[in-house]
């Protein structure tokens, strides 16, 4: 019998040897260029840092971003997911260690004399019908991770925790960018609303003068019709801007995790110091290949690949035998006075093996499903990396083009401002009419509105560039945090 047992054990070990000796091959990373095709080289670029929004030099914006990072509920949910993943790592590590327990018991039993056993024992001298029994036992058991199933589960848990850590970083980056974009939107709308009101005032004055001239027969009614239409159009733009401003303010409140209505008061207090932030472009020291470790969403996708790879190994190990050893030591006595004595001591040890002989194809199907999930994770990782590279190229292109557009529109506004000043000087000298001066003012205001919109779009393009490049986050930071 002993040679047969040794033979079975040897065959089991030989069957598991190929699994132990052949680790899973890691999938190749996506092929990305080493340099960005559209990387700008501005003189005023700032290095990528996790607090990248502080480079804009706006203390009100800094306070709002910090409030959002501490109060946003999406970030809180991501942090909770990280806690769950960290707990999963501890649980997986604990499964690889021996388990121990300590059990105590106390019982009182009164034997029935009508029972066959009780009737028989009652004939012996010293029979006691009521018996007390006390026990104290410590037990330990350990599953031997011979085929790597438990270690594969631990690897998967660590990789999933890494994905959760990257997910938290991605949530913080997204919320910070959304707050900055919302702040840019609010400041831009505030400035455009002021321009729109000034434009209404200028058009109203021009319409009044033209109507006076028409009443005296100096100008045609067609001029008053046109000026009235322009005035109505300018007036209709104000409610639209006010609605958009209210929406942006409420969105900022929600991003900061609070009820709408507070941002409006805060920005009203700081309205004199506010304005569209002058976004300095980020420095781009490396190319798209660096996004594999710089973008939180790409790193999270890669960590899920590692987790899926470990789940495949876990599914393979489930098809092999499981070995456990266990033992116990304790005391059992019919009285408390005799419990902790040598006569009450009892011990035992055992070993077990569980071999999955037939499962109706379930285990093989689980392995097939795990392999398919791995292929899905690899495809998602590569797609995420390619999308990140495209977003970065798009953001850098938009940053360059939007900045150039903003400069060009600002130059137009500046020239029209100079022209308006010359016309105003001519009006003061009596060389031109008030209507002509108001016309120059309308042109200047139209150009100023375009300049504000272009400046806001350029600022948003800068934010998109910081976000697309990962905002200064590095994957190594997350993995060190998870490995602790």
pLDDT for position 4: 41
Under the banding of pLDDT at 50, 70 and 90, the label for residue 16 is: very low
Distance CA 458, CA 275 (A): 14
Does residue 442 lie in a domain region? yes
Q: What is the pTM of this model?
A: 0.82
pLDDT for position 165: 94
Average pLDDT of span 162-179 = 95
Average pLDDT of span 448-469 = 93
What pLDDT, in 10s, does the model give residues 411-426?
998 888 888 788 777 7
Is pLDDT at 261 greater than 90 in this prediction? no
C-beta separation of 400 from 438 below 8 A: no
Does residue 262 lie in a domain region? yes
pLDDT for position 479: 43
Does residue 28 lie in a domain region? no
Does residue 404 lie in a domain region? yes
C-beta separation of 459 from 418 below 8 A: no
Distance CA 196, CA 194 (A): 5
Neighbouring CB atoms inside 10 A of 280's CB total 16
Does residue 6 lie in a domain region? no
Does residue 8 lie in a domain region? no
Average pLDDT of span 139-161 = 91
Closest CA to 206 of 460, 403, 427, 454: 427
Average pLDDT of span 183-208 = 88
Q: Mean pLDDT of all residues in the chain? A: 83
Contacts of 188 (CB under 8 A, 6+ apart): 276, 452, 453, 455, 456
Please report where in the chains the tokens 């948003």 appear, as a residue.
460
With b for 16 or more beta-carbon neighbours within 10 A and e for fewer, the 220-233 pattern comes to eeebbeebeebbee
pLDDT for position 221: 58
Neighbouring CB atoms inside 10 A of 104's CB total 12
**CATH number of the domain residue 324 falls in:** 1.20.1600.10
Among 71-85, 115-129, 416-430, the range with the most confident prediction by mean pLDDT is 71-85
Does residue 151 lie in a domain region? yes
Domain count, the chain: 1
Is pLDDT at 56 greater than 80 in this prediction? yes
Angle of helix 475-483 relative to helix 296-317, nearest 10 degrees? 40
Is pLDDT at 483 greater than 50 in this prediction? no
Does residue 180 lie in a domain region? yes
* Domain of 177, in residue numbers: 35-111+128-483
C-beta separation of 449 from 133 below 8 A: no
As a whole-number percent, the residues of the chain with pLDDT over 70 amount to 87
Is pLDDT at 480 greater than 60 in this prediction? no
Closest CA to 471 of 297, 265, 310, 350: 297
Is pLDDT at 5 greater than 60 in this prediction? no
């Amino acid at each position: 019998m002993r040679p047969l047992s040794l033979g079975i054990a040897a065959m089991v070990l030989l069957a598991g040897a190929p699994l132990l000796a052949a680790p899973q091959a890691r999938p190749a990373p996506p092929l990305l260029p080493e340099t960005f095709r559209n990387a700008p080289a501005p003189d005023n670029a700032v290095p990528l840092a996790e607090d990248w929004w502080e480079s804009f030099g706006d203390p009100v914006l800094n306070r709002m971003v910090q409030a959002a990072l501490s109060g946003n509920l999406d970030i809180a949910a991501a942090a909770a997911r990280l806690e769950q993943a960290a707990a999963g790592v501890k649980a997986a590590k604990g499964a690889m260690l021996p388990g121990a327990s300590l059990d105590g018991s106390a019982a009182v039993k009164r034997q029935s004399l009508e029972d066959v056993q009780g009737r028989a024992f009652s004939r012996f001298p010293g029979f006691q019908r009521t018996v007390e029994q006390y026990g104290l036992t410590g037990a330990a058991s350990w599953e031997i991770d011979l085929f790597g199933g438990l270690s594969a589960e631990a690897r998967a848990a660590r990789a999933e925790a890494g994905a959760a850590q990257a997910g938290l970083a991605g949530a913080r980056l997204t919320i910070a960018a959304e707050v900055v974009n919302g702040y840019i939107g609010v400041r831009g709308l505030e400035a455009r609303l002021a321009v729109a009101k000034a434009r209404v005032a200028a058009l109203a004055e021009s319409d009044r003068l033209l109507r006076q001239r028409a009443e005296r027969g100096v100008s045609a009614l067609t001029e008053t019709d046109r000026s009235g239409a322009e005035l109505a159009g300018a007036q209709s733009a104000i409610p639209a801007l006010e609605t958009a401003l209210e929406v942006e303010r409420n969105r900022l409140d929600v991003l900061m995790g609070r009820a709408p209505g507070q941002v409006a008061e805060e920005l009203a207090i700081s309205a004199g110091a506010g304005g569209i932030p002058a976004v300095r472009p980020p420095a781009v020291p490396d190319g798209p290949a660096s996004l594999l470790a710089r973008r939180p969403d790409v790193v999270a996708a890669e960590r899920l690949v590692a987790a899926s790879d470990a789940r495949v190994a876990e599914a393979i190990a489930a098809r092999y035998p499981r070995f456990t050893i266990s033992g116990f030591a304790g005391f059992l006595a019919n009285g408390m006075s005799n419990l902790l004595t040598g006569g009450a001591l009892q011990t035992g040890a055992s070993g077990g093996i569980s071999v999955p002989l037939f499962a109706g194809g379930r285990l093989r199907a689980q392995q097939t499903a795990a392999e398919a999930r791995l292929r899905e994770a690899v495809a998602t990782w590569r797609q995420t990396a390619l999308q990140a590279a495209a977003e970065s190229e798009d953001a850098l292109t938009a940053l360059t083009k939007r900045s150039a557009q903003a400069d060009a529109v600002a130059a137009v506004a500046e020239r029209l401002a100079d022209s308006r000043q010359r016309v105003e000087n001519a009006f003061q000298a009596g060389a031109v009419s008030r209507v002509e001066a108001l016309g120059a003012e309308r042109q200047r205001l139209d150009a100023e509105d375009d300049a504000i919109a272009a400046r806001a779009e350029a600022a948003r393009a800068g934010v998109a560039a910081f976000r697309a490049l990962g905002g200064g986050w590095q994957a190594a930071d997350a993995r060190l945090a998870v490995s602790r």
